[in-house]
Structures are given as structure tokens and as C-alpha cells.
Amino acid sequence: MHNPARYLIFFQYIGTKYSGVVKVPPQQQGGKKGVQDHLEDAIRRLRPLNPVSLSVSSRTDAGVHALSNSAHFDLQRKNDKPPFTEDILVEALNFHLGTEQIRITHAHRVPDDFHARFRALSRTYVYRIALGVSHFSQLPLTDRDLCWSLHRTEMPLWELTFRSRSFLYKQVRRMTGALVAVGQGRLSVPQLKEIMEARDSLAYPQGLVAPARGLFLTKVDYRETDLQLSQQTSEQQLPSSGNSED
């Protein structure tokens, strides 16, 4: 009998309509679900034998977007069918995601002890700031909800890149907001130094956090060796046949 196969998927989404990436308890949804809710719904539609549980590598808040987030899950097919190939899995999940603003970009069959969160080497975020616009309506439709528009300046679009193994809650948005506040003269460099040396989120001034809409998770890095199956397991991964969604 085929054992459950563990997959690592990379996915992207426009976060505007979602409560964040992680699942929301049914009693707290209030009309908005997390990206994880929709991904797990798509996996369930493949009718796996095992319960569906997705482990997301990087949490993003409501309104934050991702060009590449990642997660792992186990999937065992019914009737002793062999594991899905990566390409068929991506195609099937994207089909079941329908019109949601979520798409799987690629997938890897990974070892059974692989963990999407704890094996990640780094996460990269980009914060987009549109400068030189007097009103958000002047921005292209593709950018209106995807950047922070600042007024009364002649500078163009800026992108701030942050890379680390992990980040604290709202850390990138706090750093971006502080940099903008210094540039606008609302925060002095000595004040910023004091905030940094305090190492306390309560020391961060109210109202300086950059809005969620300009933040993108762009990359989650792993060691190539961590993604590789053993030769024996690889040989057991046979192409699926018949209905790809059984």
C-alpha cells in the first residue's frame, strides 16, 4: 500500500480580500476566510484518504500579498493509487481554486520529515511605495491596492527589500513606516535610534505602521538537499493514471 506523500507547494495571492494567510475558525470568519482555508478546500476536493492539514511557512496579515509563499501537506490517495506527480497536483489544485486570487506556481514531493516553516533558510519581503501621486486614483488599476501612495513628492516608485530567516509581527511594516516618518520629518534619527535600542514593540509610536497593501512576501528559500527524496522513494513515485482528482 502506498504511504501518504508529503508535498511542498509554492503559491501566490493578492491578499486584499483575505483575512490573512492562516485559516480562520468558522465562528470567527465573518465572511472572510484565510488563504489556507481555500487551499485546504482545494486539497479536500482531491478526495484524499487522510485528513487535510496544511502547514504554512510564512504568516502574512490581512491585506498583505505574496508572490511566493510555501506550505507542506500530506496526501494519500484512495484505492491504493500512486502519489500525484507534481505537475498534475499543481494543475488539479489550481482548477479547484477556481476564481480565487490564489494560484499554485509549483510543487515538490519532499521527504516525510520535511517542514515548510522550520526548514526555511530565509524569507524575503518587498514593500512598494508609490511617490509623487496627489491621489490614489492616479495610480494604474494594477497598483491601487498594491502599494502605499504618498503625496506631495516628486519621487517615483520605491521598493524596499527585507531578507531574514524570520520576522517579528508587523516588523517589516514597522521598519518601513519608521523610515518614511524620518523622511517626512515626523520622526528624528535620534528618536529612531531610541526606538531600536529599546527592543520593545510598545516603544514604537502609534500611527507609524505602514499599511498592509504595499507589502509582498516574494520568496521563501530552502536548501536543495532538503527538497530531495531518497532514491528508493523517488522510484516509488509513479505517474498517476485515470482521473487525476480521485
How many degrees, rounded to 5, is the angle at CA 9 between CA 8 and CA 10?
130
How far is CA 82 from its chain centroid?
29
Nearest to 149 by CA among 137, 133, 161: 133
CA 162 to CA 113: how far, in whole Å? 29
**Residue 128 φ/ψ, nearest 5 degrees:** -105, 125
3-state secondary structure (DSSP) of residue 159: strand
Would you state the cell numbers that stand for residue 109, as one nine-digit string? 514531493
**Residue 213 φ/ψ, nearest 5 degrees:** -65, -20
3-state secondary structure (DSSP) of residue 203: helix
CA 54 to CA 43: how far, in whole Å? 9
Would you state the cell numbers that stand for residue 74, as one nine-digit string? 500530506
How many degrees, rounded to 5, is the angle at CA 35 between CA 34 and CA 36?
90
Q: How many CB atoms lie within 10 A of CB 86?
A: 16
Q: Which entry of 61, 143, 221, 226 is annotated as an active-site residue?
A: 61
Would you state the cell numbers that stand for residue 243, as one nine-digit string? 482521473
CA 195 to CA 18: how far, in whole Å? 31
Question: Among this protein's residues, is 61 annotated catalytic?
Answer: yes
Provide the annotated active-site residues.
61
